[in-house]
Amino acid sequence: MDSLFSARSQAIEPFQVMALLARAKALEAAGRDVIHLEIGEPDFPTAAPIIAAGQAALAAGHTQYTAARGLPALRQAIADFYAQRYSVTLSPERILITPGGSGALLLATSLLVDPGKHWLLADPGYPCNRHFLRLVEAQGRLVPVTAASRYQLTPDLVNQYWSEDSVGALLASPANPTGTLLYPDELAALSKAIRVKGGHLVVDEIYHGLTYGVEATTALAVDDEAFILNSFSKYFGMTGWRLGWLVAPEAAIPALERLAQNLYISASTLAQYAALACFEPETLAIFEQRRAELARRRDYLLPALRSLGFRIEVEPEGAFYLYADISHLGGDAQSFCNYLLETEYVAVTPGLDFGQYRAQQHVRFAYTQSIPRLEQAVARIERALAHWSR
């Protein structure tokens, strides 16, 4: 049967965590209390002002297509947000509203990467990045990164791995699964290294806003020609609404608009009207309260896991993940995750979902549950380790 389907579809690897999630759901259906630390979605509901704005949009009959680039009012609100948060002047004409951050990635890969070419990607990193490249008959060239560079690409790595088929690099700050940031001087140095080679700088800023003790810098502050991927899913808490945006150089907008018209026509009209409420002071205050809560969760879970023997070499400054080395515990990450789920009903993600480099030696914990639930999880993990290590 597989011979009837395209080679590109068969090259897309499944999320390992989805099989694990399915098993977790089956255990829950059988009456087990599963603690979910595997999925990148906090337990917060959509903020009430956003829901109210969506309901008002429905009542007003805002249910038809918008322009492919998105609602002008929303694009202006995003531009104003960049001015307020980053002191970056950005024309709303350079912003395209997309169906989630994935829609932004689809546009960027379609525009920038020809068949046979590739972007450099950090390994570990978000797996869908290389899969989107495969869909446009291109590749993600995985670059092994370690704690020494805080799991981020560096100019030296760009120079080492760049080849005649390289056309750019995709960075992530904060990064999934490691939660690390790129600082302004690092972004500037990477931009220079990539520009010297004639490549494109693409930066995933989807976890912007979710940083702790430090503010993330947009790459636009150091490179006005960078392509920026962002989303309403993480800081703004609109995961199921499927809304994101892409910032691009002005010269790229006509081609991107044509792509958007053909690939998805427009993003959800209802979601766009609802998202206008994200930038109101009342709503931003809710997001900041949630950021503070995530910081408390990180500050509990990080030392708790280290005390159990997990090696977390770099303290994450953003997102809501902890990337832990378990190589000294014995076994492999997939087996460990299965064991933890089957014996103590705690679900975490194996490193195989994030690349190839030392993937079987790492697991990712998402601190997306309340502190009482995290405390329960730590107690269960401690029990599991007592038997796993024997």
Residue 328 in any domain: the answer is yes
CATH of the domain at 55: 3.40.640.10
End-of-domain residue from the set 257, 280, 303? 280
Residue burial 349-383, b: 16+ Cβ < 10 Å; e: rest: bbbbbbbebebbbbbbbbbbbeeebbebbbebbee
Strand, helix or coil for residue 365: strand
Report if residue 307 sits inside a domain: yes
Check residue 389 and give its pLDDT. Answer: 65
Statement to judge: residues 263 and 274 lie in one domain: yes
Please report which confidence band the pLDDT of residue 331 belongs to, taking 50, 70 and 90 as the band edges. confident
The structure tokens 């999320």 sit at 15
Residue 239 domain-assigned?
yes
What does 260-293 look like in DSSP terms, one character per residue?
Answer: HHHHTSS--HHHHHHHGGGGSHHHHHHHHHHHHH
Q: What is the pLDDT of residues 160-172, one digit of tens each?
A: 999 999 999 999 9
Whether residues 258 and 380 share a domain: the answer is: no
- What per-residue confidence (pLDDT) applies to 14? 80
Q: In terms of domains, do 132 and 244 share one?
A: yes
Are 62 and 29 in the same domain?
no
Of the three residues 216, 249, 280, the one that is the final residue of a domain is 280
Same domain, 54 and 118: yes
Q: Which domain holds residue 164?
A: 50-280
Mean pLDDT, the chain, as a whole number? 96
pTM value surpassing 0.85: yes
Residues 304 and 269 placed together within one structural domain of the fold: no
Tell me, yes or no, whether 369 and 222 share the same domain.
no
54 shares its domain with 40: no
Give yes or no for residue 361 having a pLDDT over 90.
yes
Provide the sign of the torsion angle of the four alpha carbons 31, 34, 39, 40, taken in this order.
Answer: positive
Q: Under 8 Å CB-to-CB from 168, ≥6 apart: which residues? A: 112, 113, 119, 120, 194, 199, 200, 201, 202
Residue whose token pair is 């990045």: 129
What are 109's two structure tokens?
A: 């890969």
Q: State residue 2's pLDDT score.
A: 67
Are 58 and 30 in a shared domain? no
Amino acid at 31: G
Q: Are residues 142 and 167 in the same domain?
A: yes
Q: Is residue 390 part of a domain?
A: no
Query: Are 372 and 306 found together in one domain?
Result: yes
Three-class DSSP category at 203: strand
Evaluate whether residue 1 is within a structural domain.
no
Within-domain flag for 389: no
pLDDT at 67: 97
Number of domains observed in the structure of the chain: 2
pLDDT of residue 18: 82
CATH of the domain at 318: 3.90.1150.10
Using one digit for the tens of pLDDT, what is the confidence trace for 188-237? 999 999 999 999 999 999 999 999 999 999 999 999 999 999 999 999 99
- Examine the fold and report which residue of 246, 261, 280 is the final residue of a domain before the chain moves on: 280
DSSP string of 5-59, one letter each residue: S-HHHHHSPPPHHHHHHHHHHHHHHTT---EE-SSS--SPPPPHHHHHHHHHHHH
Q: What is the mean pLDDT of residues 249-256?
A: 98
What is the arrangement of strands in the sheet containing 118-123, beginning at the earlier edge strand?
Answer: 95-98, 244-247, 227-231, 200-204, 166-172, 118-123, 139-144
Q: Are residues 95 and 207 in the same domain?
A: yes
Q: Is residue 2 part of a domain?
A: no
Task: Report the SS3 class of residue 362.
Answer: strand
Please report the sign of the dihedral spanned by the C-alpha atoms of residue 22, residue 27, residue 29, residue 35: negative
